[in-house]
């Protein structure tokens, strides 16, 4: 640790190093940069020009201004757990890592908001206020590591957004460094509906293409009085998906309604947090209801009845918080757990109207058969948010491409039934061509028009989110060769 000793002939790196303070505040050697060549999406890799670690908004603004003035591409990065490649430096960007801006600045319980810096880890917010009975609702599976800044960029979801909504429903204010270096503040003091177009809504989920968020005001919620969690095993995936629809249409709004199929169960049971799911079942549902204790038993009874009507093999209610915790750990580490049964996976994120679940699952099964690749399904069934995990081995020539094709085919199926190509992971690099499955040329232009208002020179996170225009579309996606 210590002062920044920078030895390089790159004048921009020397200049940038002067703008920021702190130990190792800039990385520029290849060995250090290599770890920044991808995020949670590992199929494409590109080296950044440098990585800088500002510790406050002014430093971010200075860096951005410098980049803008010198026409250097740049992008922001949080924990790098994103699954669509939003933080991958396609254009040899300067990466502005926000992980050192990780303070919890304010908690106002009376007015139910908290102010955090973008590098603050999602789960830490809940941990910081749980002793007072409060929590932060959005809970992406990566919440142990992902930052709230990243959550804002991706409009992250999570298992409990069925009842409580996604990140955008919990953002009350943002401080943003615009691509020209200006600092603006939207939404003050946690007060909703500030006059003007809803820039909070627009920035949330803009995948770091409109500005760099440096301060975030989020809504915090009171813990529900009671929670009950149910695990239901089905011998048949149709029954499982039908039970999902039945639960929702019975008038219950579960806090979470998750599903895993047989292949997924094999993975989570082989990994670090097995809970003893039977190996021979086709689907497991994890259902959670919360709210006023007096009302919960009725809902549980109703859920149990629905499951039985749909031929559930076994259904059980978590005995205590410890058991509930184990069930959730098993589910939440599900993606990473695929490492235990496959060297690589590609996770997709299609979303469909709930009622199309049986049809879409059957079609995904067919894609798996045709491609010869196994596809595990771990998903937020209540939201209709599918996560087909295409299992493959990148060391086998051609298999990566095959996996990408299979993933894309899954998204096509989702789009065809009136759904969308991404529910919570974002478009990033990964799905930019698939944007055409859901938007036409004019609709994409409507969006790039908005981008151009904020980011006219396209220096900030260029090449993401939107398909390559016009004739370039047919150019085959270039893949970083992995062998």
Partner 1 sequence: MMSIANTEQKPACTTGGLGNYLWSDPPKENKWADCVHCGLCLEACPTYEQLGQEQHSPRGRVHLIKSVAEGNLFVNEAFADPVFQCLDCRACTTACPASVDVGGLIEEARGQVRQAMALKGWKAMTSKFFLETLFPHHDRLHAAGSLLKFYQKSGMQKLVRKTGLINIMPEHLVEMESIMPEIKTPVRKKYKQEQVIKAKGVTKRQVSILSGCIMDVMFSDINEATINVLTRNGNDVTIPKNQTCCGALHVHAGDREMGRKLAKQNIEAFKDSEKVIVNAAGCGCMLKEYPELFHDDPEWQEKAKEFSAKVEDISKFLYDTGYAPPKAELNTRITYHDACHLAHGQGIREEPRDLLLHIPGVEMVHMPNADRCCGSAGIYNLTNPEMAGAILESKMANVPEDVEMISMGNPGCMLQMAVGVQKYGRNQRIVHTVQLLDWAYQKEEEQGSGQDGEK
Partner 2 sequence: MVATEPIANLTAIIAEEQLEAGGFNDHLLGNNGRITVFPKTEQEIASILKYANEHEMKVNIMGGGTKRGFGGIEESADILLVLEKYKGVIEHSPGDMMVTVKAGTTFQELQNFLAEDEQKIPLDPPLPEASTIGGVIAANDFGPKRLGYGSARDMVIGLRIVYPDGTIIRSGGKTVKNVAGYDMNKLFIGSMGTLGVITDITIKLRPIPKYESVILLSFQDGNLQDIHTFIIHLLDSVMEPTALELLNPALAKKLTGKSAFTIAISFEDVESSVRYQVDYVKQNIVHSANSSILEQSDARNFWDAFANIPPNGHKADSGNETKAALKIGVKNVDVLQIVKESQLLEDSHHLKVEAHGGLGTGLCKVHLAGASDDVVSAIQSLRTITENIGGYAVVTHLPLELRQKIEVWGEKPAHFFLLDGIKAKVDPKRILNNGRFVGGI
Which residues ranging from 57 to 86 are in contact with partner 1 (CB under 8 A)? 79-81
Q: Which of 69, 198, 369, 393 binds partner 2 (CB under 8 A)?
A: 198
Q: For partner 1, give the closer residue by CB, 40 or 423.
A: 40
Tokens of 32: 């250090």
Tokens of 166: 């996604």
Span of 266-274, 354-362, 400-408, 415-423 interacting with partner 1 by CB under 8 A: 266-274
Q: Cβ of residue 214: shortest distance to partner 1, in angstroms?
A: 16
Which residues ranging from 415 to 434 are in contact with partner 2 (CB under 8 A)? 418-427, 431
Distances in whole angstroms, Cα of residue 58 to Cα of each of 3, 54, 273, 305, 413: 19, 9, 43, 58, 46
Q: Cβ of residue 68: shortest distance to partner 1, in angstroms?
A: 24
CA atoms of 424 and 349, how far apart (whole Å): 7
CA atoms of 203 and 153, how far apart (whole Å): 7
Which residues ranging from 107 to 166 are in contact with partner 2 (CB under 8 A)? 108-112, 133, 154-155, 157, 161-162, 165-166
438 near partner 2, judged by CB under 8 A: yes
Instruction: Provide the β-strand partners of residue 288.
Output: 229, 256
Residue 214's H or E segment, with its range, is strand 212-219
Q: Cβ of residue 355: shortest distance to partner 2, in angstroms?
A: 4
What's the chain's Rg over C-alpha atoms?
Answer: 23
What's the gap between Cα 220 and its chain centre? 20
Q: Cβ of residue 228: shortest distance to partner 2, in angstroms?
A: 13
CA atoms of 250 and 384, how far apart (whole Å): 17
Span of 25-33, 189-197, 317-325, 372-380 interacting with partner 1 by CB under 8 A: 25-33
| End-to-end CA separation in angstroms for the chain | 35
299 near partner 2, judged by CB under 8 A: yes
Span of 39-47, 132-140, 308-316, 419-427 interacting with partner 1 by CB under 8 A: 39-47
212 near partner 1, judged by CB under 8 A: no
Torsion angle, CA of 466/91/97/450, rounded to 10 degrees? -30
Is 85:430 a contact under the CB 8 Å cutoff? yes
Span of 321-329, 330-338, 376-384, 471-479 interacting with partner 2 by CB under 8 A: 376-384
Backbone φ, ψ for residue 258 (5° rounding): -110, 155
Strand order in the sheet with 283-291: 312-317, 226-234, 283-291, 256-261, 375-379, 388-392, 344-347
Closest to 385 in 3D by CA, of 477, 204, 256, 254 = 256
Q: For partner 2, give the closer residue by CB, 26 or 435.
A: 435
Q: Which of 106, 225, 280, 393 binds partner 1 (CB under 8 A)?
A: 393
185 near partner 2, judged by CB under 8 A: yes
Q: Which of 121, 248, 427, 460 binds partner 1 (CB under 8 A)?
A: 121
Span of 118-126, 193-201, 376-384, 403-411 interacting with partner 1 by CB under 8 A: 118-126
Backbone φ, ψ for residue 186 (5° rounding): -120, 130
Chain residues that interact with partner 1, rule: CB under 8 A: 1-2, 23-24, 27, 29-32, 34-36, 38-40, 42, 51, 53, 79-81, 97, 99-100, 102, 119, 121, 123, 142, 144-146, 271-273, 333-340, 343-345, 393, 395-397, 482-483
């Amino acid at each position: 640790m210590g002062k920044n000793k920078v030895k390089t002939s790159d004048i921009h790196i020397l200049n940038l190093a002067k703008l920021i303070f702190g130990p190792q505040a800039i990385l520029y050697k290849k060995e250090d940069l290599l770890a920044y060549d991808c995020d949670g999406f590992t199929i494409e890799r590109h080296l950044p020009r440098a990585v800088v670690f500002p510790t406050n908004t002014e430093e971010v603004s200075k860096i951005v201004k410098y980049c803008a003035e010198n026409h250097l591409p740049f992008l922001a990065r949080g924990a790098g757990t994103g699954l669509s490649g939003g933080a991958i430096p396609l254009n040899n960007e300067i990466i502005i890592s926000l992980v050192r801006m990780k303070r919890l600045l304010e908690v106002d319980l009376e007015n139910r908001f908290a102010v955090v810096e973008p590098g603050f880890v999602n789960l830490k917010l809940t941990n910081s206020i749980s002793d007072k009975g409060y929590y932060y609702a959005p809970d992406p599976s990566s919440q142990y590591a992902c930052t709230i800044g990243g959550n804002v960029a991706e409009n992250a979801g999570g298992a409990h957004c069925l009842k409580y909504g996604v990140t955008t429903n919990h953002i009350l204010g943002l401080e943003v460094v615009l691509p020209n270096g200006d600092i603006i503040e939207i939404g003050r003091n946690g007060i909703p509906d500030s006059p003007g177009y809803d820039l909070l809504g627009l920035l949330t989920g803009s995948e770091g293409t409109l500005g760099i968020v440096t301060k975030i005001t989020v809504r915090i919620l009171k813990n529900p009085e009671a929670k009950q969690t149910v695990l239901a095993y089905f011998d048949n995936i149709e029954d499982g998906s039908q039970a999902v629809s039945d639960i929702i249409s019975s008038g219950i709004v579960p806090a979470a309604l998750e599903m895993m199929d047989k292949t997924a169960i094999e993975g989570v049971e082989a990994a670090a947090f097995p809970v003893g799911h039977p190996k021979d079942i086709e689907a497991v549902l994890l259902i959670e209801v919360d709210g006023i204790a007096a009302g919960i038993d009725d809902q549980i009874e109703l859920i149990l009845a629905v499951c039985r009507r749909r031929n559930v093999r076994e259904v059980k209610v978590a005995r205590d918080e410890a058991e509930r915790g184990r069930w959730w750990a098993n589910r939440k580490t599900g993606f990473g757990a695929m490492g235990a049964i496959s060297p690589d996976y590609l996770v997709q994120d299609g979303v469909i109207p709930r009622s199309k679940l049986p049809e879409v699952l059957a079609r995904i099964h067919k894609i798996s058969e045709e491609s010869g690749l196994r596809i595990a399904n771990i998903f937020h069934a209540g939201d209709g948010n599918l996560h087909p995990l295409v299992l493959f081995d990148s060391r086998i020539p051609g298999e990566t491409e095959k996996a990408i094709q299979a993933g894309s085919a899954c998204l096509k199926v989702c789009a065809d039934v009136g759904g969308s190509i991404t529910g919570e992971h974002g478009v990033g690099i990964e799905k930019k061509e698939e944007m055409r499955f859901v938007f036409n040329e004019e609709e994409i232009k409507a969006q790039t028009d908005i981008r151009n208002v904020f980011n006219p020179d396209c220096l900030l996170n260029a090449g993401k989110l939107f398909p390559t225009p016009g004739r370039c579309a047919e150019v085959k996606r270039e893949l970083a060769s992995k062998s």
